[in-house]
Structure 1
């Protein structure tokens, strides 16, 4: 299927629907015949949503199920994992972009390429274990992150409980993690934009990464836009490894176990 949309530019971006995408397979788990594929490619206005096709779902059709074992649990629903930041080279490696950095670390660890421009974001699709995931880095600049995140959630009809947003937090000590099931924006403009795009809903999990507060009289805006120094980057490497593990546990074992893991990290560090 060919779709057209704009990404911060008057130049339209064309995208052909990837039928091998974990997201397309999960939300449209039935198989298309060769003739149907050709029809949908040749006629870009053809819509899956508007189609009157009502195929029967079977174990064989599911991309994650095994037809030999009917007692196996059903396939996992897809997750959207969003890292917040500002696009552009001058913002690379800055405190306000730690959400981007965490998503990049997850992508590298799980072998997912985040290089497709769509929905005003760079996105990548793959799996963590047997859970289909979409990684996203909004390219709207921080204050308008909701334009991208809201569109992704709406288009793919992702339940909010399966949307994880990762962002920097001034109120947490540097390099510390905190996983919450929901909450407000806490003064973070990126989170404020996302909540606004969801009509005020705050019921989605978030992974906060502490960047600490500036010392002395340094302005907060200048502080969050400063790059990390060498020692800070080394500390963050350990934090990212913790974050990768926390995300894996979240997707595969549930929120409570992941939160326990994150909290146990704090307890161990306090004993040192």
Structure 2
């Protein structure tokens, strides 16, 4: 009997555990017993595929959206005055002049007309801004400001009105979060068009009171002296800084800056 032939005809299992031996009789590296769960295999394949494919479109959109800076709501800044060359440079028109100073400093063109107002759009920092100078004459300012606020849907807390004030010392600024018209007819008109609401900020610019028995109407339509003009230019610079702080850092910081600011000393 051929021993080699007999051995070759015997099928020896490749796994020693099948015959309950403690050690394999024959070491065959290429014939290990390997059992892989189909479920595990499919799950692993799916994970590997998702990792190689990268983030999903929905995840990318959410990430991109979270990285974008939040858009800020626009402000409307209104300066009160009377239109026309005959009123230019008068005390009653300091609101116009303050808006002009803002427009020049922030390079906002005031070349368009919207709702009977000289109008311009731009930015102060990253805050969108609309500047307006109503051309309706002072006593009818609300006829322009009211429709502007309504059309552009500006919340009243972001409508800043700048106007002259007889009750403040000359060239003094005062920033308030709300209040009445204080006898100023332009403000009276605006409040009426806001349905009586006084909850909007205002920047008052002091023009002083007339001396002697001068009629207040004549006084507000008078022009400034050379010395007053120099001091007023300084006031406009402080007003510009106050507006920047208001829009970029909030009302409280701006009010602190404005209401504690000192006037420059008048030279004799």
Taking structure 2 as the reference length, the TM-score comes to 0.73
Name whichever of 160-169 and 230-239 sits farther off. 230-239
Q: Distance in 2 between matches of 1:173 and 1:265?
A: 13
Look up the SS of the partner of 1:193 in the other structure. helix
Q: Does 1:257 align with 2:253?
A: yes
1:177-192 to 2 correspondences below 5 Å: 177-192=173-188
Q: Distance in 1 between matches of 2:114 and 2:122?
A: 16
1:129-144 to 2 correspondences below 5 Å: 129-144=125-140
User: 1:264: Cα distance to partner?
Assistant: 2.6
Q: Distance in 1 between matches of 2:133 and 2:188?
A: 16
Taking structure 1 as the reference length, the TM-score comes to 0.72
Q: Distance in 1 between matches of 2:212 and 2:180?
A: 28
Q: Does 1:246 align with 2:261?
A: no
Q: 1:217 aligns with which of 195, 210, 213?
A: 213
User: 1:243: Cα distance to partner?
Assistant: 0.2
User: 1:74: Cα distance to partner?
Assistant: 1.3
1:28-39 to 2 correspondences below 5 Å: none
Structure of higher CA gyration radius: 2
1:230-245 to 2 correspondences below 5 Å: 230-245=226-241
**Structure number having the greater helix percentage:** 2
Q: Alpha carbon RMSD of aligned pairs, Å?
A: 1.7
- Aligned position for 1:78: 74
Ranges of 4+ aligned residues in structure 1 off by more than 4 Å: none
User: 1:181: Cα distance to partner?
Assistant: 0.1
Q: 1:171 aligns with which of 167, 175, 184?
A: 167
Q: Distance in 1 between matches of 2:115 and 2:79?
A: 14
- Aligned position for 2:43: none
Look up the SS of the partner of 2:260 in the other structure. helix
Look up the SS of the partner of 2:141 in the other structure. helix
Structure 1 residues 82-137: Cα deviation after superposition (integer angstroms, max 9, x where no partner): 00000000000000000000000000000011121120100000000000000000
Instruction: Note the residue ranges of structure 2 that are not aligned, 5 or more in a row.
Output: 1-60
Structure 1 residues 25-68: Cα deviation after superposition (integer angstroms, max 9, x where no partner): xxxxxxxxxxxxxxxxxxxxxxxxxxxxxxxxxxx9xxxxxx86
Q: Distance in 2 between matches of 1:166 and 1:249?
A: 15
Q: Distance in 2 between matches of 1:265 and 1:69?
A: 42
Contact 2:231 2:264 in 1 (8 A): no
- Aligned position for 1:93: 89
Contact 2:75 2:158 in 1 (8 A): yes
Instruction: Note the residue ranges of structure 1 that are not aligned, 5 or more in a row.
Output: 1-59, 61-66
- Aligned position for 1:159: 155
User: 1:184: Cα distance to partner?
Assistant: 0.2
Structure 1 residues 70-91: Cα deviation after superposition (integer angstroms, max 9, x where no partner): 2565111000000000000000
